[in-house]
Structure 1
Amino acid sequence: MANKLFNEFHAHTKQQWKQQAVKELKGKNFDETMIWDIDKNIHIEPYYASEDIDFQSTKHIQQAQNQRVNFNWQYREMVRYSSEKETNSLILKLLKSGVDSFLIDLSDVLLSDVEIKKLLHNIKLSDTPFFFKVKNQASNLVNELQKVAPYQLKGGIVNNPFERWMYTGNWDENHWKNTAELLRKVQDYPQFKAINLSSHHYHNAGANAVQDLAFSLAQAIEVLDKLSQEGVAIQDILKNIEFSVSVGTNYFVEIAKLRAFKFLWKKIVIEGYDVDASLTNSTSFHCQTSSYYHASITPQTNLLRTTTEAMSAIIGGCDAISILPYDSEDEDADDFGDRIARNISIILKEESYFDKVIDPSAGSYFIEVLTKEIADEAFKLLQEVEEMGGIMEAFKKGFIQEQISLEHLRKQAELAQNKYIMVGVNKFRFDEKPFQKKATSSPNHDSNLVLLPNLHLSAIFEV
């Protein structure tokens, strides 16, 4: 019966579909009406078919995507340190509220002023992954952790020298030597990541998916090269890396971005460093929802944004996720926004069963084509950066800033002309009193560098 039914439906080529679409448009330009761009060289069509697929490339992309063997992603709560007692009480409370991983922000305090034993009272780091954000104090922190937790640690260190340098111009000349020493200290902790490579500073300055990928991978190459020169084996570097990636509002593009990220990372490690592909399986991916697209005047719309961003991250294959509260720009916000942010992850797991499907994006012609196109363009941009001498040289020459600035200006123009729609910003807007952003002091920096800004796209049209 089924065979007879389907015999009534005849196969059509993509060209036949397009001819019918042009007819239905009744004189409107097909390209202008139906095709949209996410990059100067990446154009999204309204319809994809099997004839669009390069099955050999798809096979390699899928192999990279399948490196994730744990589908039970962690929800990582970001906690800013206040005092040992207050922070410890908050952590213990959050452990009962659906949080299974933490990022403790110690970046604004001296470790000598913090009693780690009191901070981690009644907390076991072999059960719950703890990541600690620090500024050039990583080795000292690990020394303290080893004193109070003489067992297998889970978690890692978040010390982003590239991000700090691009924002402030300050670089620690001993960074690579200190990092090599740190890796030797944690070599017996397979679930502790000592190197965190972030894309947030690119994304929040306006970078697109291709730029996010290329510049993040250029950072990783710099790390592999510099630490190799310090005598650290490639396999010891690889097992210590976690990528932390910002995820924006473009649902399918962000899924494809993460898939392309894994594919390119495996390609670079295998072809560039001649090591076994399985070594990339130890690399973890943490995702964070975007602050770049947050609306401050109509903040409730941020709930919708962070939900789709979280979905993209999970379908793309993140190992851990942090979801920004919808009112993260509000100085007077209480913990309700944090609670709602956690609920998004919980609902996607417990009610939507996102953790029950191995790879929900597999087999989509659209996602497969988009993944390959993003990967191809990102690799071309990465090659440009490497030809300039790497990420730091490209930044010193202004290449990184110029590329991101052009992309930010393009987004800004499209928003102003209503070519790009943001609900609550340039459409369906309900004006309220905007959140007041916290003032930040201007740090000392090398005046010869043109620094990356930390932008908020919707704020341009709301203040």
Structure 2
Amino acid sequence: MDIDEKIKEWNNLYTSWIAKRKERKQKFITPSGIEVKPLYTPLDLKGNYVDKIGFPGMYPFTRGIYPNMYRGRIWTIRQYAGFGSAEDTNLRFRKLLEAGQTGLSMAFDLPTQLGLDPDQELAFTEVGVVGVSMFHWKEMDLVMNQIPMDKVTTSMTINATAMELMSMYIATAESRGIDKKVLDGTVQNDILKEYIARKNFIYPPEPSLRYAIDLIEYSYKNIPKWHPISISGYHIREAGADAVLEVAFTLADGIEYVRKTLERGINVDDFAPTLSFFFAGYTNIFEEVAKFRAARRMWAKIMKEWFNAKKPDSMTLKFHTQTGGAELTAQQPEINIIRTTLQALAAVLGGTQSLHVNSYDEALALPSEKAAKIAIRVQQIIAYESGATETVDPLAGSYYIEWLTDEIEERAWKVIDNIEKMGGMLKAIERGYPQAEIAESSYRLQKRIEEGDIIKVGVNFAYESDWIGTTEIFRVNPAVRERVISRLKQYKENRDNIKWKDSLEKLRKAAEGNDNLFPYVLDAIKAGATIGEISSVLREVWGEYKEPIIF
């Protein structure tokens, strides 16, 4: 009996079975709206194995970007951290490194992200609240105290002021005699996703995109080990996009950055290997693994066929994953450890290069020290006890996984095609297309939760109870504000005012022209300029962006 006949026989069995024993739902649908069949077989696979799935470390990289993946070394263990003053964050960093973290991931407060000094009126209530206050390069020096900058990799989640923070990091390293050429890490620098999802922009899109490309250009020429952009689907997903939109919008942003960099006459193989990506890891393991595999295959195709990249390294999608903050619940917070474990496992099975696991208390406050250490232990147990690291791409060949990878890819290509017809992602953003699609996706998801189609344990119709727990709530000391404002005043009093004013005037002229801004920002930082002063110059030249109301 061949497989077609056997499937017919099974379908008859299945139909008669569920006629007597009804299933839990009429339809089983993933969080991204993809209907799941009761069974997958070899007949659900599409295309040639070598062309579609292939081998790890080889085009189209579906199975991973390195031949041996975690058999060589495990992913970089990062915990996104930062709060209060530089001293507070330094202490947390050193404790996380002692607990087994292998790379730093720095969070900045809202004033830093929006180009405001802590003594400015708009900054007052937010100093040090959701990240470390970082307004002068000597604050970076305090954050990195006793941390070997030439040995550790550092990721900085910063966008509209990415150049300023990168310059602070360089100034700190050089003050210690460390050449910037040996620095290793990532700066997010993805301004397009700010307009789409996160909304921490300052300037209009056109000059903001120039700013981002300036950083990419300077970095590949002068800081060769550094990743000058982390093209970020994470925030797109957290804003309400489903897995398909997360892939499509992230890759469409990547396409825009590549095109803009190529317009400067730079060879694609010179800068493409330095590009990196950032995705969310959610709880539905199979959809997430398929998402990562589809994104990797799509990016390889884009770089090879759209942009004529020749180096295999230019076609590889290197990505960091953070577990899904939006999936954590304030109710029964301790069970978030189970959610983040599944999310982290999905990222590992999907082939991530770097991973942050959210702490179980993050639906309530910034992570406590205890919760952050448990989050590191989640990664270590997956790495050393689960068996997931012993073979490359262990879920490959699953009929369901391969079908779902194809399905997500096909749906994501349709979204990218729509964006291309609009003239690219920048034009699509101006029309409000990705913003509207995310809003609609978010509405659909929330409706399914409220109707009980998607169960959130402890929240909607499932195992709700009065939870007895002793979750520690971490709060930032409000005395931080006075401390950092006092230091800011001291910095300003001790700098060379002639060099400081001259550096800002040169920056202004560069912003009015077409020169790469990075050397001017770096000089201003070294001359003692603050993030608020540099941003003020750029605001005066470029203006501030007011997002249009889109219905």
Please give the TM-score of this superposition, normalised by the length of structure 1: 0.86
- Alpha-carbon distance, 1:209 to partner: 0.9
Distance 2:361 2:301 in 1: 39
Q: CA–CA distance in 2 between the matches of 1:14 and 1:220?
A: 42
Q: Unaligned 5+ residue runs, structure 1? A: 1-6, 439-443, 452-463
Cα distance in 2 for partners of 1:386, 1:57 equals 29
- Following superposition, the deviation at residue 131 of structure 1 comes to 1.3
2:249 aligns with one of 197, 215, 237? 215
Gaps of 5+ in 2: 55-59, 113-132, 476-543
| Structure 1 pair 176–256 and aligned structure 2 pair: CA distance change class (3 A) | same
The match for 1:413 is 447
Q: 2:150 aligns with which of 126, 151, 173?
A: 126
> What SS does the corresponding residue of 1:75 show, helix, strand or coil?
strand
Q: In structure 2, do the counterparts of structure 1 residues 91 and 437 end up closer, same or farther at CA, with 3 Å as the change threshold?
A: closer
Q: In the alignment, what sits opposite 2:546?
A: 446
Question: Which segment drifts farther, 254-263 or 417-426?
Answer: 417-426
Q: CA RMSD in A?
A: 3.0
Q: How many Å separate the matches in 1 of 2:363 and 2:402?
A: 36
Q: Is the 8 A contact 1:299 1:326 kept in 2?
A: yes
Is 2:192 the counterpart of 1:162? Answer: yes
Q: Which amino acid aligns with 2:463?
A: F
CA distance in 1: counterparts of 2:36 and 2:188, whole angstroms: 36
Give distance in 1, aligned partners of 2:7 and 2:305. 36
Alpha-carbon shift at residue 219 of structure 1 (Å): 0.4
* Counterpart secondary structure, 2:291: helix
Indicate yes or no: 2:37 matched with 1:45: yes
**1:171 pairs with 2:169:** no
Q: Is the 8 A contact 2:78 2:356 kept in 1?
A: yes
Mapped contact 2:303–2:315 kept (Cα < 8 A):
no
Corresponding residue of 2:12: 19
Q: How is 1:35-74 mapped onto 2 (pairs within 5 angstroms)?
A: 35-36=28-29, 38-39=31-32, 42-56=34-48, 59-62=51-54, 63-64=60-61, 65-69=63-67, 70-71=69-70, 72-74=74-76
Worse overlay, 384-393 or 259-268: 384-393
* Matched residue SS, 1:98: coil
Per-residue CA deviation, residues 432-452 of structure 1 (Å, 9 max, x unaligned), is 5999999xxxxx85141449x
Residue aligning to 2:379: 345
Give the residue type in structure 2 aligned to 1:242. Answer: S
Give the superposition deviation at 1:93: 2.1
1:386 equivalent in alignment to 2:420: yes
Q: Which residue of 2 aligns with 1:3?
A: none
Give the AA of the match of 2:18.
L
Q: Distance in 1 between matches of 2:428 and 2:146?
A: 47
Structure possessing the higher radius of gyration over alpha carbons:
2
Alignment match, 1:459: none
1:263-293 residue CA offsets vs partner (Å, 9 max, x unmatched):
0000111111111260335542100111121
Return the letter of the residue paired with 1:15. Answer: K
1:326 CA displacement: 1.0
Aligned partner of 1:425: which letter?
Answer: V
How do residues 2-17 of structure 1 correspond to structure 2 at under 5 angstroms?
Answer: 13-17=6-10
Which whole-Å CA distance do the structure 1 matches of 2:433 and 2:546 have between them?
17
- SS across alignment from 1:43: coil
Offset of residue 94 of structure 1: 1.6
1:141 and 2:143 correspond? no
Q: Deviations over 1:283-342 (max 9, x none)?
A: 421001111211112212211111111010000000011111111122376322111111
Confirm whether residue 153 of structure 1 aligns to residue 183 of structure 2.
Answer: yes
Post-superposition shift, 1:203? 0.7
**Kept in 2: contact 1:165–1:171 (CA 8 A):** no
Give the C-alpha shift of residue 389 in structure 1.
1.7
| Structure 1 residue identity aligned to 2:13 | Q
Aligned counterpart, 2:463: 428
1:376 to 410, 426, 431: 410
Partner of 1:367: 401
Change (3 A) 1:104 1:35: closer
Do the aligned residues in 2 keep the contact of 1:180 with 1:232 (CA within 8 Å)?
no
Q: Does the CA contact (< 8 Å) of 1:269 and 1:275 recur in 2?
A: yes
Contact 1:240–1:283 (8 Å) recurs in 2: no
Q: Deviations over 1:350-400 (max 9, x none)?
A: 211322221111111110010011001101111101111222222222221
- Structure 1 Cα separation of the partners of residues 398 and 135 of structure 2: 49
Q: Is the 8 A contact 1:36 1:43 kept in 2?
A: yes
TM-score normalised according to structure 2 size: 0.73
Name the aligned partner's letter for residue 429 of structure 2.
F
* Distance in 2 of aligned mates of 1:301 and 1:333: 15
Deviates more, 1:112-121 or 1:388-397: 112-121
Paired with 1:337 and 1:281, the residues of 2 have a C-alpha distance of: 37
1:73 is displaced (CA, Å) by: 0.8
Whole-Å separation in 2 of the counterparts to 1:31 and 1:428 = 17
**Matching of residue 335 in structure 1 with residue 328 in structure 2:** no
Q: What residue identity is the alignment partner of 1:429?
A: E
Q: Is the 8 A contact 1:81 1:104 kept in 2?
A: no
Q: Contact conserved, 1:61 with 1:259, CA < 8 A, in 2?
A: no
Deviates most, 184-193 or 88-97: 184-193
Number of aligned positions between the proteins: 438
The structure 1 residue matched to 2:105, chosen from 103, 111, 120, is 103
Distance 1:74 1:92 in 2: 16
Deviates more, 1:207-216 or 1:396-405: 396-405
Amino acid in structure 2 at the alignment position of 1:130: T
3-state SS, counterpart of residue 187 of structure 1: helix
**Secondary structure in structure 2 of the residue aligned to 1:288:** strand
1:119 partner letter: V
Structure 2 Cα separation of the partners of residues 125 and 236 of structure 1:
25
Q: Secondary structure at the match of 1:409?
A: helix
